[in-house]
Structure 1
Amino acid sequence: MSSQQGHITVVGMDTSEASQNALRHTLSKAREGDTVHVLYCFTPLMDFVGPEFVKSPSPEQHEQWRLKEQSNFENAIKQVDLTSPAKVETSMLAGDPRSKLLEYAKRTNANEVVVGSHGKGFFSRNVLGSVSSYLSHHSDIPLTIVPWKRSADHPAQQQQQQAAEAKK
């Protein structure tokens, strides 16, 4: 029996079908002895700053927010069959997914980071930012970006089709 460690992959997860697709892709390639870490990052509640005051969320509000995000993560992950020969671990962290994914990947000695492509256009990618774009420029760990193919079942295509039908 070999003492060699299997492949360690960190999959960035959010509530999108694109990230679910990335997780499915990763699990389909995983083998016995591999470890797949599914990491969900969320933005924590922030202080509200006004001209003459600062309002901080209470510990109860922080906990309610964390529970809401945990529910979002659980609902997203239920959409994916986690049956795999690999060991699958799930984690949730508060913070910017770009930096948290890289930190987590380094901490777990990951061989690869996998994220889904949201298929956003020029404006969203360049003005709003993109986790996959950031990672492609800053990660020293191999990165796989699983493309989300535009098809009739893609949410954006469904919305466009519904809008077109509503105009008829």
Structure 2
Amino acid sequence: MRMMVAVDESEGSFYALNWALNNFFPAFTTAEELGTFTVVHVQQPFQPYIFAAGPVLEVAREGQEKQAASISSRALEMCKGKMVKAETLILEGDPKEMICQATEKMQVDVLVVGSRGLSTIKRAFLGSVSDYCAHHAKCPILIVKPPSESHNKK
């Protein structure tokens, strides 16, 4: 089985990763039985026309690369804490399109994504990665919603 979990800087994506680690791995006695476990992070395309050229551009790119490395490192630490061997994949582009392309290229069996819980209006203007993937990914997709406020108080 090939599983992919998409992460970004949001706590919702890390909640989804933790959920997948807690709910998929107890069913397998070893990570090898699961197969490939990939954590993917997609950086937004860098828009150089927003910044002046030269040092400012380089500093902005370095910051973006450090953020991607930090996200991947946090995800790998979570996997390591659950004794799950994982690989990371950092892509650049529109997250929703790149995630769908990666699942198809890697022949992923299941994609796990978090949900930020956007309202209908915000989803219409901002777009929803989970909604797009649910309609365009060529594999089954599991959308993990964060617990509601009332659920947290129990």
Q: TM-score range by the shorter chain?
A: 0.7 to 0.9
Cα deviation code 1:70-102 (max 9, x no counterpart): 244146437735334543111211111111111
CA gap of 1:109–1:19, structure 2 versus 1, over 3 A, is: same
* Identical pairs, percent: 26
Q: CA deviation at 1:60?
A: 2.8
Q: Distance in 1 between matches of 2:95 and 2:54?
A: 21
Matches within 5 A, 1:1-168: 7-28=1-22, 29-30=24-25, 31=28, 32=30, 33=32, 34=34, 35-48=36-49, 60-61=58-59, 63-74=61-72, 76-77=74-75, 80=78, 82-84=80-82, 86-151=84-149
TM-score, length basis structure 1: 0.72
The runs of 5 or more residues in structure 2 that have no matched partner are none
Q: CA deviation at 1:147?
A: 1.2
CA gap of 1:80–1:153, structure 2 versus 1, over 3 A, is: farther
* Paired positions, count: 144
The runs of 5 or more residues in structure 1 that have no matched partner are 1-6, 155-168
Q: Distance in 2 between matches of 1:123 and 1:134?
A: 15
Q: Distance in 1 between matches of 2:129 and 2:95?
A: 7
Structure number with larger C-alpha Rg: 1
The one-letter amino acid of 1:114's match is V
The one-letter amino acid of 1:106's match is E
Q: CA deviation at 1:144?
A: 0.4
Q: Greater helix share, 1 or 2?
A: 2
Q: Distance in 2 between matches of 1:137 and 1:26?
A: 21
Runs of 4+ in 1 over 2 A off after TM superposition: 54-63, 65-72, 74-87
RMSD: 2.8
